[in-house]
Amino acid sequence: METATLAGGCFWCTQAIFQKLKGVDTVVSGYAGGELVDPSYDQVSSGSTGHAEAIQVTFDSQVISYELLLEVFFKLHDPTTVDRQGSDMGNQYRSIVFYHNQKQRAVAEETKQTVQADRSKTVVTEVVPYTNFYPAEKHHQNYYQNNHDKTYCQLVIDPKIQKLYKEFGLLLK
């Protein structure tokens, strides 16, 4: 099993997407890259801790490659907006790939360049070394599964799930 740590805006959205992929064992919503040890949602939401809402994915690289995880990541969020995903604004919503080793770094940089070649806007996704990850509070875990009837889930997450099915149907559990 390998680990990927990704920040692509709201962790409710990214967790819901990555949980549906074959080869993915666990997806935990949390906070990564900041200075404060074990921050709370309120602290991260203030924008003062340096953390991004992120997911930590444990996956079987024999079933799904890191490259494919990054392909899904880049296609299902907007990597061209600084500190923003849709109506979610603040540095906690920035786009980041936290690499765990040099191979992941190389794959992330190459994937970012490929994505950039297909876009007219600059891809602003950061590619930085992994330093820390703190799981979010319990009520943030599996948010989409537990709150599918909420307006946010229907208006923001459902369209991303539909795009996932359309673009990556063969990768789904």
Q: Is the pLDDT of residue 25 over 90?
A: yes
Q: Is the pLDDT of residue 161 over 90?
A: yes
35-39 average pLDDT score: 94
DSSP helix/strand/coil, 154: helix
Distance in angstroms (rounded) separating the CA atoms of residues 89 and 147: 22
For 42, the token pair is 């309120």
Residues in CB range of 40: below 8 A, 6 or more apart: 137
Is pLDDT larger for residue 99 or for residue 89?
A: 99
59-73 average pLDDT score: 97
For 25, the token pair is 């064992």
Is pLDDT larger for residue 144 or for residue 87?
A: 144
129-159 pLDDT per residue, tens? 999 999 999 999 999 999 999 999 999 999 9
- Position 122 scores a pLDDT of 95
10-31 average pLDDT score: 97
In the chain, how many domains are there?
1
Of the listed 6, 10, 96, 97, which one is catalytic? 10
The 24-32 sheet, strands edge to edge? 126-129, 95-99, 2-8, 52-59, 24-32, 133-135
CATH of the domain at 86: 3.30.1060.10
Phi-psi sector, 52: left (phi>0), alpha (psi -120 to 50), beta: beta
Q: Is 153 a catalytic residue?
A: no
21-33 average pLDDT score: 98
- Position 85 scores a pLDDT of 86
Where in the sequence is the domain holding 123, given as residue range(s)?
2-171
Distance in angstroms (rounded) separating the CA atoms of residues 45 and 40: 8
43-54 average pLDDT score: 95
For 132, the token pair is 């820390």
- Position 89 scores a pLDDT of 87
Tell me the percentage of the chain whose pLDDT exceeds 90: 95
